[in-house]
Structure 1
Amino acid sequence: MSSIELKNLIKKYGDGFPAVNDVSLDIADGEFMILVGPSGCGKSTLLRMVVGLEDITSGDLLINGKRVNDLAPRDRNLSMVFQNYALYPHLTVFENIAFPLRLAKGQHSDDEITQKVNAASKMLELDEHLQRKPANLSGGQRQRVAMGRAIVRDADAFLFDEPLSNLDAKLRGQMRTEIARMQRRLGVTTIYVTHDQTEAMTLGDRVAVLKKGILQQCASPRELYEQPVNLFVAGFIGSPPMNFLPAEVDGSTLKLPFVDVPVSDELAEKVAGKDLVIVGVRPEYFKDASLGDANKGTEFSAVVDQTEWLGNEQYAYIPFEAHEAVQGKLEELDRELDGEGMRTQLVVNLDARSRLREGEEARLVFDPALMHVFDPNTGECLTRDDAKAAEIAQDSEDSRKAALERARKREEQQAS
């Protein structure tokens, strides 16, 4: 196990473009760190810099306090699991898992190799497949073989490069659980690259959000969701994504497309002098007032354009015209988030009990205290509560340490 420290890492290619631009991260011993962002944000490049497959243009990479910039990949004692599994088709599952041990000639006896492979296969439920070839395995089984090969090395850290992107949705869900269980059980420091925010939110102790090579925010999934630092992070985290609405500033009132919302004196002071801001509201914060959910909040009416019923929840879509002063900013954000430039619409996540249908007028209610307000020029979140964010961060770190301690005790009980 190890701690990994990235200090002002920069990666420039021949044309001078910084694929990774001044990224600094402290990854604690046993921590599960996720690197996430849209295509081309530099997350895979950053991972390859850590493992040694990409040179570092400037900055320092430290493993357990030791600078390793100039060490070859084999000398960094890191295990990497690739997107395409990188299995040897002519070798059995047993030999694929054992390969890194046999590569270290003379360091492991045959008995030690057998013991390590069997221990890994038992953990990953591969015992009955040890004599099969990769071509005869499912995608999920191949991924587990690749993970087994990483486990037997006793590496200081695991590095995953979009390992589940080739699997179907059901298998991805199963493998997420396998990876999370394995990481907690082994307590190994892990860096995991993904473009799938569901993986990021469910797996990571902390998540580093990248945009065009620049680190936007690194925090626990809950802090990213509840206390984003800017418009980009708010838009990237959450599914369906956060609604962004233009709002005209009128003293202590924000005039949204559907309703005027009174704001606190503190927020009114922050938006003073601005003609327009962008308001962010999560889809699930809207409630169907006809169901009796209007205990507190601001109520408004709007015509529903389309609905989607999914059994346990229902989505309603309500188009609106974006103010021309922020239309460009919203379109730019959509492009950065790999969007398709669809028309602006309010997405509402309703209770499955709701009977709203397309073409009907809906009575909706939401709590203005749950709004995020952003500066349209800088993208800064004006409603971020640093004290609340620090509280969430501490709670998440305490939970991480407690989970590792529980896993360690389970291992000790099973060993005895």
Structure 2
Amino acid sequence: MSTITLKNIVKKYGDGFPAVNGVSIDIADGEFIILVGPSGCGKSTLLRMVVGLEDITSGDLLIDGERVNEVAPRDRNLAMVFQNYALYPHLTVYENIAFPMRLGKNKLSEDEIDDKVRLASAMLDLDEHLERKPGNLSGGQRQRVAMGRAIVRDADAFLFDEPLSNLDAKLRGQMRTQIAQLQRRLGITSIYVTHDQTEAMTLGDRVAVLKKGELQQIASPRELYEQPTNLFVAGFIGAPSMNFLPARVEGGRMQTPLGALEVPQRLLDAAEGKDVVLLGMRPEHFEDAKLVDEAIKPHGTTFSARVSHSEWLGNEQYGYIEYESDAKVKDLLDELARDLDGDEMEPQIVASFDAASRIRGGDDAELWVDGRRMHVFDVETGENLTRDAEAGARLTEEANEERAREIQRAREKD
């Protein structure tokens, strides 16, 4: 196990385009770091630089404090699990897992190899498949074989490059659980690249959000969700993503296309002196007004709106509310949509309701929105003007403590 440090890492190609631009991350021993962002943000390039498959244009990469920029991939002692599994089709599962040990500098005896293969096989529930060929396995089984091959290497760190993207939704869920449990059990430093929101939020101790090669924020999933540093992080993290409404301070309230909203004084102070701001609110900040507890109603605003259509999912439902676009923020929101791999951002709110709500598409509904959990964003810079850095840091510190407890429990169980 190892610490990995990236100091101002830059990757430029022949045309001078910076695919990765000045990224600095300190990864603790045993930590699970997720690299996430839209297509072309540089996350896979960054991972390939760590493993040595891409040259580093400038900056320093350190493993356990030793600079390894020029060290060959085979000498970095890192195990990589690829998106396409990279298995040898003519070898059995047993031989695929054993293969790295037969190539290693420190030759192992056949008994030692057998012990390691069977230990990894037992961890990954592959015992009954050891004599099969990869072509006869399911996608999830092949991915487990690739992970077994990484385990037996006794590597200092695991690197995952979108390992679950070829699997269907059910298998992805199963494999997420296995990867999380395995990483905790081994306590091995891991870097994981994905574009999948669920993987990022459920697997990572910390998540690094990248945009156009630059690091936007690195924090625990909860800090990213509750205390995003800017408009991009707020829009990228969460599914459905955060809603953004143009707003102005008038008469001690926020005037928005949904009407005048009651918000805490700190939000009014953050927006003071600005012609227009963006008010950020997540779908779960809304509710059918009929279902809101009277004790919390004063902390928000009840308003009337037509729900254009709704989606009932069993445990919850979503309602969509269209509103008049504001020319002063349209360009900013369209730019955000492009950054998030979209074309433009529709002027609509996505609101989450309790499954018991009877609101349906086409209804004129009475809705409630919680003012306590909103954010105010600057329309010029995209900065979150209401971010509480101290509260965010506490959330990440709590996540670090939880990680330490989970690793300790996993080791005691073994």
Q: Give TM class, smaller chain.
A: over 0.9
User: What are the superposed Cα offsets for residues 103-161 of structure 1, whole Å, 9 maximum, x if unpaired?
Assistant: 12661111111000000000000000000000000000000000000000000000000
Match of 1:309 in 2: 312
Query: What amino acid maps onto 1:334 in structure 2?
Result: A
Equivalent residue in structure 1 for 2:331, among 306, 318, 328: 328
Q: Once structures 1 and 2 are overlaid, which stretch shifts more, 138-147 or 240-249?
A: 240-249
Aligned to 1:337: 340
Alignment check: 8 A CA contact 1:251 1:272 kept: no
Distance in structure 2 (CA, Å) of the matches to 1:344 and 1:269: 26
1:354-406: per-residue Cα shift (whole Å, max 9, x none)? Answer: 00111111111122111111001100001111121121121111111111111
1:385 alignment partner in structure 2: 388
Q: What is the correspondence of 1:267-306 to structure 2 with a 5 Å cutoff?
A: 267-294=267-294, 295-296=296-297, 297-306=300-309
The alignment of Structure 1 onto Structure 2 pairs a total of residues equal to 411
Counterpart-to-counterpart distance in 2, 1:150 and 1:310: 38
1:13 corresponding residue in structure 2: 13
Pick the aligned partner of 2:413 from 399, 410, 415.
Answer: 410
Cα offset, 1:24, TM superposition? 0.3
2:246 match: secondary structure:
strand
The answer for the alignment partner of 1:81 in structure 2 is 81
1:137-188 deviation line (CA, Å, top 9, x unaligned): 0000000000000000000000000000000000000000010011000000
Whether the 8 Å contact between 1:100 and 1:149 is mirrored in structure 2 is: yes
Gap regions ≥5 residues in structure 2: none
Counterpart of 1:72 in structure 2 is 72
Residue 370 (structure 1) aligned with residue 373 (structure 2): yes
Q: How far is the alpha carbon of 1:266 from its aligned partner?
A: 3.4
Kept in 1: contact 2:334–2:345 (CA 8 A) = no
For the 8 Å contact 2:280–2:375, the answer to whether it is kept is yes
Is contact 1:289–1:363 with CA below 8 Å preserved after alignment?
yes
Secondary structure, in 3 states, of the residue corresponding to 1:255? strand
Give deviations 1:331-372, integer Å, cap 9, x for gaps: 110111112435221101110000011111111112211111
1:16-31 alignment, distance < 5 Å: 16-31=16-31
Amino acid at match of 2:126: L
Instruction: Please name the residue that 2:196 is paired with.
Output: 196
CA contact (8 A) 1:279 1:374 kept: yes
Corresponding letter in the other structure for 2:388: D
**Which letter does structure 1 place at the counterpart of 2:266?**
E
Q: Secondary structure at the match of 1:79?
A: strand
Number of the residue aligned with 1:173: 173
Amino acid at match of 2:10: I
Does the aligned pair in 2 maintain the 1:299–1:365 contact within 8 Å? yes
The residue aligned with 2:238 is 238
C-alpha contact (below 8 Å) 1:308/1:316 kept by paired residues: yes
Instruction: Trace 1:37-186 onto structure 2 (pairs within 5 A).
Output: 37-104=37-104, 107-186=107-186
User: Any idea what the Cα deviations from partners look like across 1:67-105, whole Å, max 9, x if unmatched?
Assistant: 100100000000000000000000000000011001126
Range with greater deviation from structure 2 (121-130 or 102-111): 102-111
- Normalized against structure 1, the TM-score is what? 0.97
Conservation of the 8 A alpha-carbon contact between 2:267 and 2:375: no
CA distance in 1, matches of 2:252, 2:4: 47
Amino acid corresponding to residue 346 of structure 2 in structure 1? R
Counterparts in 2 of 1:264 and 1:358: CA distance versus 1, 3 Å = closer
Distance 1:292 1:31 in 2: 40
Whole-Å separation in 2 of the counterparts to 1:293 and 1:307: 23
Between 1:158-167 and 1:294-303, the stretch displaced more is 294-303
Post-superposition offset of 1:17: 0.6
Alpha-carbon contact 1:230-1:380 (below 8 Å) kept: yes
Secondary structure of the residue aligned to 1:246 is strand
Structure 2 CA distance, aligned partners of 1:265 and 1:244?
19
TM-score when scaled to structure 2?
0.97
Q: Which moved more, 1:167-176 or 1:396-405?
A: 396-405
Give the gaps of 5 or more residues in structure 1.
412-416
d(CA) in 1 for partners of 2:402 and 2:109?
Answer: 39
Shift of 1:37: 0.2
Give the Cα–Cα distance (whole angstroms) in 1 for the partners of residues 324 and 164 of structure 2: 38
When residues 103 and 398 of structure 1 are mapped into structure 2, their CA distance, relative to the original with a 3 A threshold, is same
Bigger Cα displacement from structure 2, 165-174 vs 316-325:
316-325
Displacement of 1:263 after TM fit?
A: 3.7
Which of residues 322, 331, 350 is equivalent to 2:353?
Answer: 350
Which amino acid is the alignment partner of residue 165 of structure 2?
A: S
Measure the CA separation in 2 of the matches of 1:265 and 1:318.
26
Task: Report the 3-state secondary structure (helix = DSSP H, G, I; strand = E; otherwise coil) of the residue aligned with 1:22.
Answer: strand
Alpha-carbon distance between aligned partners in 1 of 2:224 and 2:4, rounded to the nearest angstrom:
22
Tell me, yes or no, if the aligned pair for 1:252 and 1:264 is still in contact at 8 Å: no
Code of the residue aligned with 2:327 in structure 1: it is E
Say what the alpha-carbon RMSD is for the aligned residues.
Answer: 1.1
- Superposed displacement of residue 409, structure 1: 1.2
Contact 1:43 1:193 in 2 (8 A): yes
Residue in structure 1 matched with residue 187 of structure 2 by the alignment: 187
| Cα offset, 1:326, TM superposition | 0.1
Question: Does residue 359 of structure 1 match 2:362?
Answer: yes
Compared with structure 1, are the counterparts of its residues 284 and 408 closer, same or farther at alpha carbon in structure 2 (3 Å cutoff)? same
Query: Counterpart amino acid of 1:383?
Result: T
Q: Is the 8 A contact 1:287 1:293 kept in 2?
A: no
Match 2:403 to one of 376, 400, 404: 400
Sequence identity percentage: 69
Match of 2:137, as an amino acid?
L
